[in-house]
Amino acid sequence: MSILVIAEHDNSSLKQATLNVVAAAKAIGGDIDVLVAGENVGAVAEAAAKAEGVNKVLVADNAAYGHFLAENLGELVAEVGKGYSHILAAAGTTGKDFMPRVAALLDVAQVSDIVRVESDDTFVRPIYAGNAIATVKASDAIKVITVRPTGFDPVAAEGGSASVEQLDVVKDAGLSSFVGEEKAQSDRPDLASAGIVISGGRGMQNGDNFKMLEQVADLMGAAVGASRAAVDAGFVPNDMQVGQTGKIVAPQLYIAVGISGAIQHLAGMSDSKVIVAINKDEEAPIFQVADYGLVADLFEAVPQLEEELKKVL
């Protein structure tokens, strides 16, 4: 068995999700190579070479991959990956974008969003917004898989000493080009891998009120998330959405503030270790999954929470 893991990164640093995907690859078993495709990715390749369990790092460093355009990455990964038994990437928006192209180019099925490995061809994945858990067996010779990072504890970032090999495969499909981006800048931890997440919903009423959550988040070193309703209403940007169609999080502590607990929201956070809900409606479904529920007006409870936390942290 030989497994190719596609690194998740931003051209300057390796994302933790890569370490979760390597963990999934270890669960499958076999030699693990990591492909780093991007532009000026020397530092990323070095970091990938240090990850535990990695055999070899392949580097495709070219402007064609600088913005992770799916058309170019798809061709590259299909070509490099065709010699492997498994091709794995994190189920973030980059992996979800290019991996199905890889599968189609190789004429194989893709198994999306796996949370567990049963054997080298059998995987477990949530369907129906996590209301059902399917065990699926893939019959193709090459298994193309996206991995939900929260399903696997990351391998150690240090300690490995993989060799690094430069590839000179340049695939520019000429179908698409990068125009621009709006990236949210934040000093807070990354939502998808933060140990504590505090999320606000429609009950927050406006974007300004999210400052209350940010202050609490900064006390605890938490990331700030949101429900779809809060994003749709324009309170906060789209990349903060937690749920079936947003980010999947599984922190040690998830605090839902003014969120009712629709199944689509629960799909993104119900694997959190401890869930706290603050909601003024004691019938809100979020209380059915909360370990600690506080029935209260958030505009009183959140400032109090900040004060109480200051006493103990």
Partner 1 sequence: MKVLVAVKRVIDYNVKVRVKPDNTGVDLANVKMAMNPFCEIAVEEAVRLKEKGVASEIVVVSIGPKAAQEQIRTALALGADRGIHIETDEEVQSLEAAKLLKAVVEKEEPKLVILGKQSIDSDNNQTGQMLAALTGMGQGTFASEVVVDGEKVNVTREVDGGLMTVALNLPAVVTTDLRLNEPRYASLPNIMKAKKKPLDAVSPADLGVEIAPRLSTLKVEAPAARQAGIKVADVAELVDKLKNEAKVI
Ligand X SMILES: Cc1cc2nc3c(=O)[nH]c(=O)nc-3n(C[C@H](O)[C@H](O)[C@H](O)COP(=O)(O)OP(=O)(O)OC[C@H]3O[C@@H](n4cnc5c(N)ncnc54)[C@H](O)[C@@H]3O)c2cc1C
Check binding of 203 to ligand X (CB under 6 A).
Answer: yes
Indicate the DSSP class of residue 263.
H
Which residue, 28 or 32, is less far from partner 1 as judged by CB? 28
> How far is Cα 191 from Cα 110, in angstroms, rounded to an integer?
26
Note whether 69 binds partner 1 by CB under 8 A.
yes
Question: Which CB sits closer to ligand X, 38 or 268?
Answer: 268
Contact call for residues 199 and 227 (beta carbons, < 8 A): yes
CB of 208 to partner 1, least distance (A): 20
Binding flags for partner 1, 127-166, as an x/- string (CB under 8 A): xxxxxxxxxxxxxx--------------------------
Query: Per CB under 6 A, does 82 bind ligand X?
Result: no
Choose among ligand X, partner 1, none what residue 239 binds, the Cβ cut-off being 5 to 8 Å by kind: partner 1
Question: By C-beta, is 26 or 280 nearer to ligand X?
Answer: 280
What is the DSSP-derived secondary structure letter of residue 9?
A: B
Q: Which of residues 232-291 bind ligand X (CB under 6 A)?
A: 241-246, 258-260, 262, 264-265, 268, 279-281, 284
Q: Is 216 in the site for ligand X (CB under 6 A)?
A: no
Cβ atoms of 66 and 38 closer than 8 Å:
yes
Whether 305 and 216 have beta carbons less than 8 Å apart is answered as yes
State in angstroms the smallest separation of the CB of 139 from partner 1. Answer: 5
Amino acid type, 146: T
Sheet holding 56-61, edge to edge: 110-114, 143-147, 86-90, 2-6, 31-38, 56-61, 163-166
Should residue 249 be labelled a site residue for partner 1 when binding is judged by CB under 8 A?
no
State yes or no: residue 301 binds partner 1 (CB under 8 A). Answer: yes
Q: DSSP class of residue 206?
A: S
Question: Would you say 95 and 192 are in contact if contact means Cβ atoms under 8 Å apart?
Answer: no
From partner 1, ligand X, none, which one binds at residue 104 (CB under 5 to 8 Å depending on kind)?
A: partner 1
The span from the first CA to the last CA of the chain, in angstroms, equals 48
